[in-house]
Amino acid sequence: MSFEEKRIATALRFGIDANQIPRHIAIIMDGNGRWAEERGLPRFHGHSKGAQMVEEVALHCVSCGVECVTLYSFSLQNWKRPKEEIEFLMGLYALYLEGMRETLMNNNVRLVHLGQRQRLPEEVLNALDGTIEMTSKNSGMALCLALNYGSRAEIVDAVRVIAEKCKNGKLTEDQIDQQCISDHLNTSELCDPDLLVRTSGELRLSNFLLWQLSYAEFYVTDTYWPDFDKAALDKAILAFAERSRRFGDVTDNKPVC
């Protein structure tokens, strides 16, 4: 089924219009550690459980006709966490990136990496590169992992590239506009998110997609990420469908993804 056919089927199930299904959902997956601690478990258990939910949520997005899902997996600021926790997370990422390949291929999903490569262990880079290469020709949903990512660093990197192009005569000052900046971000081949979901009740962006989320609708839930299942995602989509998106205008207007 095409994206449009899936959105129509999902809209019928929800009793809404197909245009009210977000095409790009960005998710800040928060609360893994607290989920574990409230159960008297080490934080590692929360991260493991959270990794399991990634597949469930991603596949549900595929079935709903969502064209892109971006998951905030590990920020540049997360390097401040305890060494043992970071080592566990990196090992988990390597295992997950290799273990998800069959599922991605079976569901025509393309993996995309957002973020820097510096500091990522070799095992993670090898697993990441291998999965990206294997799924590169898939034409279905894009699953974007914001791994070792920070939005301010992304924007700074884009500005440096633009400045270098101007210095070399490849760009002129009057060619630098909003589209130019967008074209030099990690997300240059993606449409901007329609919906941002943040779990665990925190009310902040945490340096995530600051440029790209300019007109996204925000949905915050107290549910911790390890408990954020298909039903929870459906609630977020239905909440999105109730919003009136005007993008600074006085009439409803939906951008083309």
- What structural domains and CATH numbers belong to the chain? 3-150+192-241 (3.40.1180.10)
Say what the pLDDT of residue 183 is: 98
Say what the pLDDT of residue 244 is: 82
Say what the pLDDT of residue 253 is: 55
Say what the pLDDT of residue 134 is: 98
* Residue ranges of the chain whose pLDDT lies below 70: 246-257
The string of pLDDT tens digits covering residues 169-186 is 999 999 999 999 999 999
Say what the pLDDT of residue 94 is: 97
Q: Say if CB 68 and CB 24 are below 8 A apart.
A: yes
- Which pTM value belongs to this model? 0.94
Q: Which residues pair with 149 in a beta bridge?
A: 75
Say what the pLDDT of residue 54 is: 96
- CA 234 to chain CA centroid, nearest Å: 17
Which amino acids are annotated catalytic? 30, 78
SS3 category, 3? helix
Determine the Cα–Cα distance for residues 167 and 48; give it in Å rounded to an integer: 47
Determine the Cα–Cα distance for residues 181 and 179; give it in Å rounded to an integer: 5
